[in-house]
């Protein structure tokens, strides 16, 4: 993302825009492109209810599980991700949005959440708190990658990180929270895959065993795997190229070469998950794509066809050395991140919430005043905002009330204003009732949807209105 290349592109695009706009009425200089950048997506009102459902469910579940929210910057010093995520990863080598600021410091838009949370954990002094320190986060991440189904270059993740407990109990808790969250929001056809990749004590011997098996096949493998062979051979097993995957089918498995402590940890974790009724399948080839993982790794995958080949909706594991790598004290930790866009694909669109009431009145000031009174009591309501400014007829306003899908029209005419009342009209049944204005909020809250007023006025009863 060099400045020179960006300037050339910008100037070229500017000339094209000026040429395209030349001669058009009102064309004044370069015109802005109306398409969003590739790999980004506007969340419009039709989608917002689905996002709000996911966000509120996460916040509620994390709160009852005693996880505290942390918010970190969307960009960090590039070295943070190189050191934390790992220089052998595709994220660092191919996918990061890195740039130099005006002071020539290298900064990167965050490609994942854990590294920034660990930095905040240390910088904010949270490592001095009594463990465990349990945190959660949510927000956008950025990776330059292929825009496949469910993949975006700006995407959103929600995740948890728990610091200070080395035992398998905290592993089980974060996994159960992930499964419960997916269940609560209605994500079906999901399967938990589980593995252990060992620790710095047992992994070196396994690493050499793996290299011995793969060395004769190295010329047949892709360039990335050849590079990983020396730096981190476990990452070779995460290769997405089918030809290479087939060469790894008979390699030794990390779970078969664990030290006694790692083996006990993994068995205890499985026992804990069994006791919670959490179903899982063992996937001995699961290694995850980030360098910082130790021992427990897991993914929740979906068989739903709408995700295409990108079937993972949640992934995580244990990273017992990352805090120390960043200059902190030795601190065990475990966490996961969940891709919100992929979850949205599974859930589909939810209904856009409709207002409870719609104010109909020729007196715009009083209509706005009444709307503010209702909103102050927690009642969602709206009113007519005509394009030409002048109040429209009651008939037009009632049509707008119907289009808004409001359950009630609150009619405020001259007669109602003089009497200190309003006419409450059921938009489904057409029945109407006069109620004191001071009792309107209580009346709306006490009346379930579709309930007819106690005293109905027939629809054909004449009604005099000023418009």
- The reported pLDDT for the residue numbered 351 is 76
Put the strands of the sheet holding 98-100 in their side by side order.
Answer: 75-77, 106-109, 98-100
465 Cα distance to chain centroid = 49
**Please, which residues bridge with residue 108 across strands?**
76, 98
By DSSP bridging, strand 333-339 and strand 357-360 are: unpaired
Cα(first)–Cα(last) distance of the chain, in Å? 60
Q: Where are the alpha helices (DSSP H) in 36-166?
A: 48-64, 78-84, 90, 114-123
Radius of gyration of the chain (CA): 29
Task: Please give the full DSSP string across 339-382, using - where no structure is assigned.
Answer: EHHHHHHHH-PPPPPPPSEEEE-S-HHHHHHHHHHHHHTT--EE
Instruction: Using the predicted structure, report yes or no on whether residue 19 has a pLDDT greater than 60.
Output: no
Distance separating alpha carbons of residues 206 and 213, to the nearest angstrom: 11
* pLDDT score recorded for residue 148: 67
Angle at 109 between CA 185 and CA 35, to 5 degrees: 75
Contact between residue 114 and residue 291 where contact means Cβ atoms under 8 Å apart: no
- In this prediction, residues 184-197 reach a mean pLDDT of 92
User: pLDDT tens for residues 70-94?
Assistant: 999 999 999 999 988 877 677 888 8
Percent of the chain whose pLDDT exceeds 90: 62
Total-model pTM: 0.81
Confidence bin at 244 (pLDDT 50/70/90): confident
pLDDT at 233 over 80: yes
Alpha-carbon distances, residue 133 vs 85, 127, 328 (angstroms): 21, 8, 14
Q: For residues 18, 19, 20 and 26, what is the CA-based torsion angle, rounded to 10 degrees?
A: 60
Q: Which residues contact 153 (CB under 8 A, 6 or more apart)?
A: 37, 38, 39, 40, 142, 143, 144, 145, 147
Q: How many CB atoms lie within 10 A of CB 458?
A: 8
Give the C-alpha separation, 176 to 167, whole Å. 15
- Per residue in 342-370, pLDDT tens? 898 888 777 778 999 999 999 999 999 99
Sketch out the chain's domains with CATH numbers: 48-202+258-347 (3.30.930.10), 357-446 (3.40.50.800)
Q: 283 vs 15, which has greater pLDDT?
A: 283
Q: Which residues contact 404 (CB under 8 A, 6 or more apart)?
A: 354, 355, 358, 382
- For residues 25 and 34, give the distance between their C-alpha atoms in angstroms, rounded to a whole number: 19
Distance CA 72, CA 209 (A): 40
Give backbone dihedrals phi and psi of 328, rounded to 5 degrees, phi first: -95, 180
Mean pLDDT, the chain, rounded, equals 86
Confidence category of residue 189, pLDDT binned at 50, 70, 90: confident
Q: Which two tokens stand for residue 49?
A: 């209810």
pLDDT, position 434:
95
Q: Which residues contact 178 (CB under 8 A, 6 or more apart)?
A: 160, 300, 314, 316, 336, 338
| Dist CA 378 CA 388 (whole Å) | 30
């Amino acid at each position: 993302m060099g400045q020179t290349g960006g300037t050339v592109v910008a100037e070229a695009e500017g000339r094209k825009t000026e040429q395209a706009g030349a001669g058009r009425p009102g064309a004044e200089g370069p015109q802005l492109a109306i398409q969003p950048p590739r790999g980004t997506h506007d969340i419009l009102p039709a989608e917002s209810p689905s996002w709000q459902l996911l966000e509120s469910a996460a916040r509620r579940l994390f709160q009852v599980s005693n996880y505290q929210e942390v918010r970190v910057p969307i960009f960090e010093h590039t070295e943070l991700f190189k050191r934390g995520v790992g220089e052998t990863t595709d994220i660092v080598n191919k996918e990061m949005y890195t740039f130099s600021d005006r002071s020539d410091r290298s900064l990167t838009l965050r490609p994942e959440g854990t590294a920034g949370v660990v930095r905040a954990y240390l910088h904010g002094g949270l490592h001095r708190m009594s463990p465990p320190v349990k945190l959660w986060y949510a927000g956008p991440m950025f990776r330059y990658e292929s825009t496949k189904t469910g993949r975006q270059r700006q995407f959103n993740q929600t995740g948890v990180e728990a610091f200070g407990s080395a035992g398998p109990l905290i592993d089980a808790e974060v996994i159960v929270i992930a499964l419960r969250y997916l269940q609560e929001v209605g994500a079906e056809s999901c399967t938990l895959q589980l593995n252990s990749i060992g620790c710095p004590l047992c992994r070196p011997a396994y690493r050499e065993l793996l290299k011995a098996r793969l060395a004769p096949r190295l010329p047949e493998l892709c360039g990335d795997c050849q590079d990983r062979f020396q730096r981190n051979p476990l990452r070779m097993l995460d290769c997405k190229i089918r030809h290479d995957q087939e060469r790894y089918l008979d390699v030794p498995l990390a779970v078969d070469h664990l030290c006694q402590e790692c083996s006990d940890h993994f068995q205890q974790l499985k026992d804990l998950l069994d006791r919670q009724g959490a179903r899982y399948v063992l996937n001995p080839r699961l290694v995850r794509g980030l360098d910082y993982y130790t021992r427990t790794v897991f993914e929740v995958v979906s068989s739903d066809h709408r995700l295409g080949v990108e079937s993972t909706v949640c992934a995580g594991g244990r990273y017992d050395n990352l805090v120390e790598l960043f200059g902190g004290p030795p601190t065990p930790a475990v966490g996961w991140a969940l891709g919100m866009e992929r979850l949205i694909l599974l859930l589909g669109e939810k209904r856009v919430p409709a207002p409870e009431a719609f104010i109909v009145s020729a007196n715009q000031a009083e209509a706005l005043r009444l709307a503010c009174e209702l909103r102050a009591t927690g009642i969602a309501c709206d009113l007519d905002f005509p394009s030409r400014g002048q109040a429209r007829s009651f008939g037009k306003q009632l049509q707008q009330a119907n289009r808004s899908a409001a359950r009630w029209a609150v009619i405020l005419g001259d007669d109602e204003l003089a009497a200190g009342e309003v006419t409450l009209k059921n938009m489904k049944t057409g029945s109407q009732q006069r109620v004191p204005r001071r009792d309107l909020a209580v009346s709306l809250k006490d009346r379930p949807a579709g309930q007819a007023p106690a005293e109905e006025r027939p629809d054909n009863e004449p009604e005099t209105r000023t418009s």
